[in-house]
Amino acid sequence: MKFISKNITNVLEENYMPYVMSVIVSRAIPEIDGFKPAHRKLLYTMYTMKLLTGSRTKSANVVGQTMKLNPHGDGAIYATLVRLTKGYDALLHSFIDSKGNFGKYYSRDMKYAASRYTEVKLAQICSEIFKDIDKNTVEFVDNYDGKLKEPLLLPTTFPNVLVSNNKGIAVGMASNICSFNLKEVCDVTIQFLKNEEIDVLKYLKAPDFSSGGKLLFDEKQIRKIYNTGIGAFKLRSKYEYIKEDNCIEITEIPYTTTTEQIIDKIIDLIKSGKISGISDVRDETDLKGLKVTIDLKRGTDPELLTKKLLSMTTLEDTFACNFNILIGNAPRVMGIKEILREWIKFRITCIKNQIQHDIGKKSDKLHLLNGLAKVLLDIDKAIQIIRKTKNDESVIPNLMNAFEIDKIQAEYVANIRLRNLNEDYILNKVKEIEALKEELNELNVTFNDENKIKNIISAQLKNIKKQFGQERKTEIIEYVQEDKITQNNIVENYELKLFITKHQYIKKISMASLRGNSEHKLKDEDYIVQEIDAENHSEILFFTNKFNVYKMYAYDIADHKASSLGQYIPNLVDLDEGEHIIKVVATKDFIGHMVFAYQNGKIAKIPLSSYATKTNRKKLVKAYSDDSSLIRVFYMPEDEDIILFRDEGSKDTRVMLINTSVINEKTTRTTRGIQCMRMKKNSIITSVKKPNEIEFNDVEYYRFNSIPRAGNTYSVEDSFSYFNKK
């Protein structure tokens, strides 16, 4: 096999970049008319099929015809059609009048029927989408096989780019445009045409969605979105507590979620014990509309439960705005004023193109009538010429020569029927010449006067507002910063004990359960190495042999009974290969210290607060020093005595008793510690114990109040007692 070496930069430029540009320009990012290419091709196909005024046709018929413009499969085209329908209900103003099952935007599982069963036609608002498109208002280009023409943009008479929400993911960029109320969009555009320095927020109150719900209005955030095109706002469901049935009924949800997503999350919360007070949750959506019902247990506080659900599910969700729009085949992130400015520029071009088309048509007609006027001055002469001409081919040249008119005018005269050669016809045609001259003069004046064109745009917007405007669907409520609902507010707190075994099992047992049965079930050869008092709201820290700390709350651990084996810790936290737990600490306030004793005689005393984090991080790396082998780790709420053994078991065994208060704390987690015991060459610390773990005749004999020290040798009695005990 022969391999050819190529420069990766050239390969990317030649192969990848064309793909990137194709996705950005021809697929994912909407343009100033508010449509992506797939939408535009579909709607224009329906327009050419006379579906703006005709009756509905099968969706399959539309999909098939659209393939002449859109080189995609029928599935992708039909999915595009579904989103634009009234039945799917994803848009404030649907572009397709539909009949049949098209599913719903708010349901993940409610599937739309096949295209052979459903019927569609263009909605009435499309008359404004295609207005004067036959008058060269927009540029037309060849379709993918060069056999048909299609518009580059649609001449929308209102800023559809703001009225229809749009989302697209390209390569290296994305677009997410929220929808706004048509009335408000028309108002703000009319005012912007008069004065570009207006306060947009005065007329464009806030985004509006077909889903309804409530928008939490934060003026600072909304202004940021309006100014930059980037930002986020919160949407909240509409719900009501029905006292008679002791249930909460949800009738409108944020546009960004689905009923299934909400229900699945609530069920997960119930199963995990993170929320209680719910006996049932079900989807009762029917022909009347969306409805999710949550049945409450007796005694449940509906207000508190609702707050919990809003904080823990997508009943309250965030819409992230990214007003990225293609302008002249280049993506631009724009604020509202920039979008309006670009749309007005586009619309002015459309109207100028339409005026030019009308000027051309009227000029052509005037040209014909001017020729006719010359002939009508001596109609008898024209009749005489035609009668005396021997063949058809000579009629036109003879008329041209006799009346000094061109070929087009002569053709027009020659085709006049004899019945029209009466006095009324002649007078009407002469009057029409004057009217045409006035109209042409007016069109030329308008074409050269941008203010007149802006007045036309304003008049069209007023008409659209009157004809298609509707009241807001999304209610605006003032955003109030509430106390954050945390798990600690939601999950019940109670006293418990944690038991950690040698084989890495953990048991979380409530005190009530432990009083009922305290006899532990353990695996063969397993035994308990730690017993910890804690609460369900305590934060649990797992220190490992790989210098990491894993963190979780006690309520994230399932409740156990003493008669169960407990939970295998590696299944609870994602340990690395060869990693195991060496110490578990439970705390609510991060008071106290971690004390790490190393083989080289150093001890590190680190405040437990060094392991507290503002964010809910699950893992902290480099939790303690790896400079020397760790002999033992302690958690000490307060300073305690510890005993260090150097070269334990040898003739030169040394023992040292100190209180941890003599060790200066270090806030850096990876500190190497303080030298506590002086070391000889090849000496090591072999163990570190607490005084209650060993029996000495006189433990104070080994105490030192300053460090570092070499320690004392064993007394004969202590040595005998200690080694016999071991």
pLDDT digits (tens, 9 = 90+) for 389-447: 888 888 899 889 888 899 999 998 888 887 777 778 777 877 889 889 999 999 999 99
Looking at residue 127, its pLDDT comes to 96
pLDDT digits (tens, 9 = 90+) for 18-77: 777 666 666 789 999 999 999 999 999 999 999 999 899 999 999 999 999 988 889 999
Lowest mean pLDDT among 27-36, 199-208, 339-348, 354-363: 27-36
User: How far is 551 from 541, CA to CA, in rounded Å?
Assistant: 5
The answer to whether 218 and 206 have CB atoms below 8 angstroms apart is no
The answer to whether position 483 is within a domain reads no
Q: Average pLDDT of the chain?
A: 90
The answer to whether position 219 is within a domain reads no
Looking at residue 467, its pLDDT comes to 97
Residue 404: CB atoms within 10 A of its CB come to: 10
Of 314, 333, 364, the residue that ends a domain is 314
Measured in whole angstroms, the distance separating CA 30 from the mean position of its chain's CA atoms is 17
Looking at residue 236, its pLDDT comes to 96
> What is the percent of the chain with per-residue pLDDT over 70, rounded to a whole number?
96
Looking at residue 18, its pLDDT comes to 75
Residues 141 and 244 in one domain: no
The answer to whether position 113 is within a domain reads yes
Going by C-alpha positions, the residue among 570, 577, 580, 631 that lies closest to residue 603 is 631
pLDDT tops 90 at residue 456:
yes
Looking at residue 386, its pLDDT comes to 85
CATH number at residue 121: 3.90.199.10
**How many helices (H) and strands (E) are present in the chain, helices listed first?**
22, 33
- Would you tell me the crossing angle of helices 336-376 and 407-414 to the nearest 10 degrees? 70
Q: Please state the rounded mean pLDDT for residues 282-290.
A: 92
> When comparing pLDDT for 726 and 122, which is higher?
122
Give residues with Cβ within 8 angstroms of 3, minimum separation 6. none
The answer to whether position 247 is within a domain reads yes
The answer to whether position 700 is within a domain reads no
The answer to whether position 212 is within a domain reads no
Looking at residue 725, its pLDDT comes to 46
Going by pLDDT thresholds of 50, 70 and 90, the confidence category of residue 726 is very low
pLDDT digits (tens, 9 = 90+) for 116-150: 999 999 999 999 999 999 999 999 999 999 999 99
Going by pLDDT thresholds of 50, 70 and 90, the confidence category of residue 1 is low
Query: Strand 214-217 relative to strand 475-478: parallel, antiparallel, unpaired?
Result: parallel
Q: Please state the rounded mean pLDDT for residues 362-380.
A: 87
Going by pLDDT thresholds of 50, 70 and 90, the confidence category of residue 482 is low
The answer to whether 707 and 674 have CB atoms below 8 angstroms apart is yes
Residues 243 and 131 in one domain: no
Distance in Å from the first CA to the final CA of the chain: 70
The answer to whether position 52 is within a domain reads yes
Of 314, 336, 366, the residue that ends a domain is 314
The yes-or-no answer on residue 624 being catalytic is no
The answer to whether 679 and 601 have CB atoms below 8 angstroms apart is yes
pLDDT tops 60 at residue 716:
no
Residues 129 and 242 in one domain: no
> Within 13 Å and on the Cβ side, how many CA atoms surround 87?
20
Give residues with Cβ within 8 angstroms of 719, minimum separation 6. 653
Going by C-alpha positions, the residue among 493, 477, 379 that lies closest to residue 429 is 379
CATH number at residue 300: 3.30.1360.40
Number of domains in the chain: 2
Give residues with Cβ within 8 angstroms of 429, minimum separation 6. 369, 372, 373, 376
Looking at residue 381, its pLDDT comes to 87
Phi first, then psi, for residue 54 (nearest 5°) are -80, -175
pLDDT tops 80 at residue 615:
no
Residue 367: CB atoms within 10 A of its CB come to: 16
In which residue are the tokens 């069920």 written? 267
Looking at residue 724, its pLDDT comes to 45
pLDDT digits (tens, 9 = 90+) for 523-582: 888 999 999 999 988 999 999 999 999 998 888 888 888 888 889 999 888 888 889 999
Give residues with Cβ within 8 angstroms of 8, minimum separation 6. none
Beta bridge partners of 642: 658
Query: Strand 619-620 relative to strand 57-58: parallel, antiparallel, unpaired?
Result: unpaired
Q: Please state the rounded mean pLDDT for residues 193-205.
A: 96
Marked catalytic residue, from 16, 19, 117, 527? 117
Residue 390: CB atoms within 10 A of its CB come to: 7
User: How far is 603 from 610, CA to CA, in rounded Å?
Assistant: 17
> What is the percent of the chain with per-residue pLDDT over 90, rounded to a whole number?
66
Going by C-alpha positions, the residue among 114, 73, 110 that lies closest to residue 89 is 110
Of 156, 175, 198, the residue that ends a domain is 156
User: How far is 251 from 241, CA to CA, in rounded Å?
Assistant: 11
pLDDT digits (tens, 9 = 90+) for 171-196: 778 899 999 999 999 999 999 999 99
In which domain, by residue range, is 254 found? 238-314
In which residue are the tokens 């909240």 written? 236
The answer to whether position 304 is within a domain reads yes
Looking at residue 353, its pLDDT comes to 96
pLDDT digits (tens, 9 = 90+) for 75-92: 999 999 999 999 999 999
Going by pLDDT thresholds of 50, 70 and 90, the confidence category of residue 723 is very low
